[in-house]
Structure 1
Amino acid sequence: MSYCCPADPEKKKEWEEKMLQETDFLDNDIKKASEIFSALGHPIRLKIAYFLSQRDHCVCELIFKLNERQNLVSHHLTIMKNCGIIEAYSNSKWHFYRLNPEFRDILSVISKIKPL
């Protein structure tokens, strides 16, 4: 049985602790989601995510496809990497980026959005 705002002091304390736990958990989830949406909220970063959803890319490929300066592309890659959207790896001399598989579904949903 569910109850709301119990009058009994012992149950009220238990209820308040439960509410605070749920709020803390929600706040952490909301903060992380907000960071992710903020990171995806720039056209260049959305393009990068799209390109990486197709296959891994080295930085020079992204610079060419985006037609942007290297320092700007690196800046956007850093933001996305810090949020966990993309992962970096390198072989002897090239740096590559790949989309974190957990974000494929988000991009799929975004691609289905139609203009109003």
Structure 2
Amino acid sequence: MAPEPPMPSLSVPHVGGQFHAQDEAGQYSFGHYGGPNTRVETRDSLGRTSGSFAYVDPEGDVQVRKYAAAPGSGFRVAASDLVEDTPAVAQVKSAHARAHETAKSLVRDAVATTA
């Protein structure tokens, strides 16, 4: 669960702040807010990182990104302006997933045969 970023503002001159804290276990928390962009991020002692940032895009809309990463689970992101896959992209992703599963199955079979 990524934290909510403070919302940016173009109508108010940069009035904001920043913070940073960390400890010997590798945990940290930092962020900044005010003006056209903001960001917050935390990391715990297990190496799990989550954060978010917001900014005002060229059209004047606020866009938000949230992300999380952890050892063994990779990187995940959610964004307010991500678009859905086109049918062609969805088809290629599906074909790739099938090929990946086939490759994993072949490796399992090869290991089982040699065991």
Q: Greater RCO between the two (CA within 8 Å, min separation 6)?
A: 1
More strand by share: 2
TM-score, with length taken from structure 1: 0.23
Instruction: Decide which structure has greater helix share.
Output: 1
Relative to the length of structure 2, the TM-score reads: 0.24
